[in-house]
Structure 1
Amino acid sequence: MYRWISVCVAPLCLSLVWYFPFIWCLFYLLCLSLFIVIAVFALTLWGHVALSSPHQTSLFLLDKVEKDVRQIEETLKEDQSNWPHTTKKTHLPVIFGRTVDSQLQLLIDYVLRDFVARWLKELSHKPEPVIDKFKEHVWGGVQNLYERLLRVDAEKLLASDMVTKITQHFERIRIARSCAIELNQPPVFALAPHLMSYDTELHYLRQISELIIMFLMPRCYSLAPASHLMREILACKVLQPAIDLVTEPDYINQKIIQYLEAQKEVDAMHVRTHEYAKTFEDYIRLINSCNNVDTLKRLRYDIVTQIMQATTLQNVKRAKGVDIEVIEKSGSQNVSRQQIADAKKLKRYINQLTIAKAECETALRKLGWDGAFPTVESDSKTLPLHKIMESVTGRRYLSMFLETMCSQGLVGFWMAVEELRHSPRSSWHQLGAEIFYTYIRSPSAEIKVDKDTRKRMEAFLLGDKGPEVFYEVQDTVVDTIQEKYYHSFLLSDHYTALIAELATEEANKGKDITSDRSPIEDRQLSNESVSSAESVAGTIHLTEHSTYARRKLDELQERHNNKIQALAALRASLKPESPALAMLANEVEKLAGEQMRLEAHLARTDTWAEHLGRWRASVHSAEIIDESKPPQFVIVVHMAEQESMTDEERPEQITTGWVLLRTLNEFQELHRKLRPMCAELKNLELPTNSFKFLFGKNDRNSLEKAKILIQKYLEFVLEDDRLNQSEALYTFLNPSSEYLKQGDLPKKNKFSFSTLFKSTSSEATNRSSQEKEQFTHLSADEDEISLYLDGNGSDNNSKSMTSSLRGAGAIAEERDSIAEPLYALLSEVFDMRGVFRWLRKTLVTFVQITYGRTINRQIKETVTWLFSEQMLHYYISVVLKSWWPGGTLSENTSNRNFQDKEHTCTLARQQLTESVVEALASLVGAQAAARGAHKLYYTLQDTTHNKQLFYELFELVLLEVFPELKRYQ
């Protein structure tokens, strides 16, 4: 509508202006006037600004701005001055262990130094705090990765999934080559889409890097700039160079040669070529020709260990009368010629070892080794091993030393068997089962027993034999410690600390015997009353309370440590929902509570002795808990405040005290003990048990009267200098004294695996007995019992029943079920697909003869060993030596010429073939082993095939570590 109005009005206006020019003149005059007004206003404003004085800021605002600037500068200076200190204070939590963590932190430091700090220095004035904070975040990511790895089934991942992938990889290569031969064409191998080009592979690595950052790093790294930066660093600088390096055939050949040569060197060093003069010269030449400091240090360590062993043996023979020096001087013939010849040979052996040690130290000094060689004072008295094992302090230091060698379980086993030896017969099976599951059946067990010994232990757990087998293994453990670790322990710092602590204990013990008596005893003997001295002579002194409690505390700590070790071992052996873990965890909590009660008792004893004579007790209330029981009095024990002291002179522990419950019978027992010490005590009145408490007013009145009488009695006893220092009063007012006066700590219901057997496996036990009757001619039932004790037969009773009815063949198949993917891989590599059953039986027999255990058990122990702290340290060391030899980032090794690569290729093929044939000739035959070695070698010479296999295995690991990705498969 407005449009039509404007169309109609516009011609009308134009016609008016045309016919009436005066209207146009008015409009023109109006516009000119408006322009003149605006121009005059602008010129006036410009003239005012131009002619005015310059503008000056007020002094108040200037001072405020300068003050803010100074504060900002001071804050920046403080932050800069604190940066070096913050870098020193960073403390990363322990994840894998001190040894592995130190290597891993060194690896992270190298990565940050060479891949992050190099460009960060150009962008930041002080990059150190940023790098330290980034290292903390990376370490947190490593900790998150470790927690995820703990939830991964390593046996399934390594022994099943990965082996299956490797088998399929070899099958695809074989099929591609056979098809190429039939079609007379080059082999066609199907690759993953991300391996088609360099860009697709890099894009794939970027996606993986984003997933790793999202799952492991803090949430702040998920933001776009930080996420892209971390993705590029991880994908382009870490993952891609690492994958290119480990899949390069030349690098693989070099590592094969290095590993096999190192194994040959280790095997050669274990040969004792220095016992006789002829080979001793060769051994000296070997030392002089060695240019490796680590090898010489290991040789010197072995020589020193053998010197100490030989010297100990020589001392033992001298104690028996076989001393070659005395025999040569006196000409005695009381010793046989064989003993004299052995003594001469031993003396000659020690002399040769001494010469070899000197040559080894000389060679080390020539190579620049300036480290000190540890020595042991010959004039000091050496503690025998049995003395160390009998002492709690000695066992603690020996266990600390063995922990550095990952063998602390030896001491724990000895202590557990010692507890079994001195325990009542009713506790034998319970303790024996705990020892078996903790130290024998654990995958990481340090104590290895043969099959017969293990069967005897299992028979004891089933109630068929006695515990003598544990005592025999205990003697074997002592011999192992004596032969392998004792002499090294004598050279260690732990032994020096043990000697120092034992000397301190001896000095304190002598001081306790020869020095002044305890405060209670001194004050009691200073009294004039003879009856007081006679009563004290029949009581336990306060110092004995403390000594006994401390001894019990040491024993309790030892038991608590053993229980914690058993719980850790069972967590690695049993399922998380196993009732055995819950029972043992409950036992650990009970021991921790018992330890806390002992520590509280020691604290009360020390406080009582420190403030002796200044204690008071108040009867807070009297309660009848049960009508059939006498009333109990709530007593509050506290320290008395002395009015003569000022606030500054009062003791700091003025609020120290405790609460306890006592009955009327206990008060009367205390009265009988204290009466001979003070004649005035007979005049005091205590409530009697003759009255009956009734409901109502009389009931409350009787309690109040009894409370008043007991309060008066306690006030008199605690204010008397003869009575308040007595042991009987301390025992009465200490809630834990009666508990500690017993010869042993109260027996608790210990963790019972025998009960667990009865509760969870009664049907299985009956079934086992029936199977023994049906298959008495077979030895496979014993292996089935072993599998049941290993925890393989308690999950599904029906499955175990059906397997038992299949006979010995089915049982034998279950014993190597984990190894089935391994059989398929061996069949594929060594071209033995038609003789699968024969290969299976041969491999089972081979492992049984070689390692003395079933193949399932051997695979489990191998997987555990692959993830042990020692192997983790080895993996990180290999990465450090490969990428950072000498602490500096290595240059690209692709510049090796063709002749060097060919030489390495030929040498690796030769050594790999020899090694495989030597190891597997008795299993698959020499020709099949050689064919398999050649097949394995030539498969590794293709970079594309290596990358395909690597990415397949890498994806398996990612799916297990990050199970959230399985939903997108």
Structure 2
Amino acid sequence: MHPDATDSSGAGLNLAPAAATGGRRAPSAPGELRPDPREDAAAPGAPGGGSWRVPVAVAALAAVCLSCLGPGCWEAVGGAGPCTVLLGLSLYMGCAAAAFLLGTLFSLVCRSRRAPPPDFVAAWRRLAAAARRARGSPVYGNSHESVQSRRVVISHNMDKALKEVFDYSYRDYVLSWYGNLSRDEGQLYHLLLEDFWEIARQLRHRLSHVDVVKVICNDVVRTLLTHFCDLKAANARHEEQPRPFVLHTCLRTSYDEVRFLQMCSRVLVFCLLPSKDVQSLSLRIMLAEILTTKVLKPVVDLLSNPDYINQMLLAQLERREQMNEHHKRAYTYAPSYEEFIKLINSNSDVEFLKQLRYQIVVEIIQATTISSFPQLKRHKGKETAAMKADLLRARNMKRYINQLTVAKKQCEKRIRILGGPAYDQQDEGALDEGEGPQSQKFLV
């Protein structure tokens, strides 16, 4: 016998690795011909190669049983009628088919892979990790992280305000009852936040197609005019019976008002919800009821109160006066040019920066006009303008205009960063389209 045939460590046949690896083939050496895996599967020694033997064995066993009935059995049956013979043959064939099907099913069950048992430990670890991350959710203080990581929907200031509204609403109306039922606040928070921003995008997209000038200057004005005319006619004292003031159908009773608000809420929900959520009827009904009872009804009651409207108008007028005084004081009493630039860079109020830019442009126009005339005569009633001219002449006019131009550009840059209008692009378009003198192009 050849030594290689008996040496288990040589290059001969070795059955130990195959048994140790559970039927897995060891990696072949370079250049070695590897047999087809399908041939291995069909081989008798392969793990799945003997599975076809079970149905064949069952079929053979059924055939042997039929043949073992012997001639005596068939002779006994031959004495009976043809119906009995056919019934016996049908019974035998049915038993053989049932045995074949059972063998096939048994072989399929043996070859199928068993599903791995559920990993309860890993699931419990995931739940514990989610519970530990709950305190790190944006509801507990980090309200600006998601605003910075996603795209701007409306503007930086508006998105920040909407984010605060959502956080407070989630804390007061959702977390107040959901926190006692579950500790997974983070996942629900992010899901609701994504839907909230999607609704904001849909609302912004639809409002962008509205003609604001037509709505404010035509529709709102005509509606208010008609309302006050009817109100004046209803309150006028005449000898005859005054005509009744016609109300909207939804204002007849409180029930009609709620029904009308429900209809408006359903339209809003249908138009603003994402397409994947609109298909759910129960979700639409629930959101419409919440929007009716918690948003629209309180807003209508608040706006219907005349005292609230008067107080809001007074507050806005007082705020406007305070802003004008602050702007005038900040612009007039800036101690130096460097402090003026610091004031621009440190301010985050877009309206203040717009007003400041307007004043800088006016100052540039005045300085350019005064520098164009060598002498400015004082006229009666214009002492203030003459004193202004004297103060400007005392400065280095070219340097002063350059400083104002730099401050104007810095102010426009700050406005653009805060989400305001881009004045640079507007100025470039005006310079490209304008055909006037050079001084007019510079001052546009």
Relative to the length of structure 1, the TM-score reads 0.25
Relative to the length of structure 2, the TM-score reads 0.50
Higher RCO structure (Cα 8 Å, ≥6 apart): 1
